[in-house]
Homo-oligomer: A and B are copies of this chain.
Amino acid sequence: MPSEQSAPLVAAFAGLGGQRVWSLMISLFGDLAQGNGDAIDGPVLSSIMAALDVRPEASRVALHRLRNDGWLQSHKVGRISQHSLTAQGRAESAAASPRIYAAPPDLSEPWQMVMTEENGRETDTALRASGFIPALPRAYVGRADSTAPKGCLALRGETPPDWLRRAVEPADLASEYDALLVALSTAENELTRVHHMDALGVAVLRCLIVHNWRRLVLKHPALPGGVIRPDWSGYQCHLLVDQLLHRYPQPALQDLAATSATG
């Protein structure tokens, strides 16, 4: 059962879909306990998952699955279990973190247009692997410092027209970003009523934000700031995510343990 403080926040994000418990748990460990040696006590994990409105059985199943998949490991210390990311889980979290926690791009960030000789699949694959975004037939948009494959024509970007800004937005995620923006705005609004939030509340809030943000942001290449449409909901989400994560920094694991013990 979610805590009184967390309930309206959990509700704000509830309609977004993609709330598989094991995935939510990966977001939680990645945000709270990515450091080498970091571990979350069993009771703390139970409290957070309960606040996230996840039933205990569902949490146990997810924990089991993630241990089997090599993401998490559990150790008994005295009478309680301690759960932590495996080396592999830490590596995967670390690989995704720069993108998840990146500051919103400067909208004057330079970009480039790269044009290819042919519609070849090989060049297309190479360009996408380097973070280039298809914008027109045989033309890709990328950060100014990305290296284009040999034989391509690379031109420095100028202030782009609206249609180009829209062309590089991930069209298939448009409604999901719109929905996330509503959820984040609702949460931000709810938070204005909260005078003090304890470590557990912060952990829950951050997990909701990070989880729902990473589900979208990791599905498409980062747009160079210079081609971002300022009112694109993906960018507006980024601003809110960044603002909220800074306003509510990661709680220390000891503080969480204390909250849980007294809760």
Contact = CB atoms under 8 A, between A and B. Distances in A.
A25 to B, nearest CB: 44
A209 to B, nearest CB: 35
A22 B234 CA distance: 66
Interface stretch (A51-59, A125-133, A150-158, A213-221): A150-158
Nearest to A118: B163
Given A136-B138, A139-B115, A139-B139, A152 B161 contact: yes
A163 to B, nearest CB: 4
Given A137-B136, A156-B156, A157-B155, A163 B117 contact: yes
Nearest to A119: B137
Interface in A207-261: none
Contact of A158 (B136, B138, B154, B164): B154
A205 interface: no
A158 B114 CA distance: 11
B164 A115 contact: yes
Contact of A151 (B151, B153, B155, B163): B163
Interface residues of A, number: 19
A113 B156 CA distance: 11
Contacts of A117: 161, 163-164
Nearest to A157: B155
A156 B153 contact: no
Contacts of A155: 113, 155-158
A160 interface: yes
A115 B168 CA distance: 14
A19 B163 CA distance: 49
Nearest to A151: B161
Contacts of A115: 113, 136, 139, 164
A163 B138 CA distance: 13
Interface of A: 113, 115, 117, 136-139, 151-158, 160-161, 163-164
20 contacts: A113-B153, A115-B136, A117-B161, A117-B164, A136-B136, A136-B137, A137-B137, A138-B139, A139-B139, A151-B161, A151-B163, A152-B161, A153-B158, A153-B161, A153-B164, A154-B158, A155-B155, A155-B157, A155-B158, A156-B158
Given A113-B113, A136-B139, A156-B156, 11 more contacts: A115-B139, A117-B161, A137-B138, A139-B139, A151-B161, A152-B161, A153-B158, A153-B160, A154-B158, A155-B156, A155-B158
